[in-house]
């Protein structure tokens, strides 16, 4: 075989490899590609609840993840509540103030975590030494949109 025949064969192999390599490429998102639209209705999920066994009159800490497409979660007015935790045994709902999580007038997607403590958890039936309790959490934005409700796993309340 001549040197030019070998060169043609190597060239054909290189072109075939290049075509196959380009055909298998996938487009990777660039840093300037637009992000998918996030809903203006807030979305929440329960990241953690602690402790899972609580003594009566002690508190329970909830860590809640939030996502909102226009950033209108929270109020400047301290008497305006936007986070609600319901003890499903009663039902008894405790309301919490959330400060604005983005500047008023802005319309930006936000996400993060809220850490909220429900104080003074009690036994519903004082004759028992322990009870199982679940809690339902929901969030309302300034436009009046409600998140979905999220229910916790069971927490044991003891004397």
Q: Considering the domain boundaries, does residue 11 fall inside one?
A: no
Quick check: helix, strand or coil at residue 122?
A: coil
pTM: 0.77
Buried b / exposed e over 19-29, threshold 16 CB at 10 Å, is eeeeeeeeeee
From first to last of the 159 residues of the chain, give the pLDDT tens digit: 555 565 565 555 545 544 444 444 444 555 565 667 899 999 999 999 999 999 999 999 999 999 999 999 999 999 999 999 999 999 999 999 999 999 988 999 999 999 999 999 999 999 999 999 999 999 999 999 999 999 999 999 999
Could you tell me the residue range of the domain that residue 154 belongs to?
Answer: 43-158
Q: Considering the domain boundaries, does residue 17 fall inside one?
A: no
CATH for 53: 2.60.40.2550
The residue assigned the tokens 């436009």 is 143
Q: Considering the domain boundaries, does residue 28 fall inside one?
A: no
Q: Considering the domain boundaries, does residue 127 fall inside one?
A: yes
Q: Considering the domain boundaries, does residue 27 fall inside one?
A: no
Q: Considering the domain boundaries, does residue 140 fall inside one?
A: yes
Whole-number Å distance between alpha carbons of 85 and 139 = 9
Q: Considering the domain boundaries, does residue 16 fall inside one?
A: no
Q: What is the number of structural domains in the chain?
A: 1
């Amino acid at each position: 075989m001549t040197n030019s025949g070998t060169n043609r064969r190597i060239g054909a192999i290189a072109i075939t490899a290049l075509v196959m390599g380009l055909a298998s490429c996938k487009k990777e998102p660039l840093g300037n590609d637009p992000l998918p639209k996030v809903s203006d209705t807030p979305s929440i999920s329960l990241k953690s609840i602690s402790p899972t066994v609580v003594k009566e009159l002690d508190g329970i800490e909830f860590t809640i993840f939030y996502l909102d497409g226009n950033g209108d979660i929270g109020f400047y007015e301290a008497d305006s509540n936007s986070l609600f935790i319901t003890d499903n045994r009663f039902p008894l709902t405790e309301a919490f103030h959330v400060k604005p999580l983005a500047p008023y007038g802005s319309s930006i997607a936000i996400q993060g975590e809220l850490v909220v403590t429900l104080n003074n958890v009690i036994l519903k039936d004082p004759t028992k030494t322990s009870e199982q309790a679940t809690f339902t959490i929901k969030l309302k934005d300034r436009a009046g949109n409600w998140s979905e409700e999220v229910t916790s796993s069971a927490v044991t309340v003891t004397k």
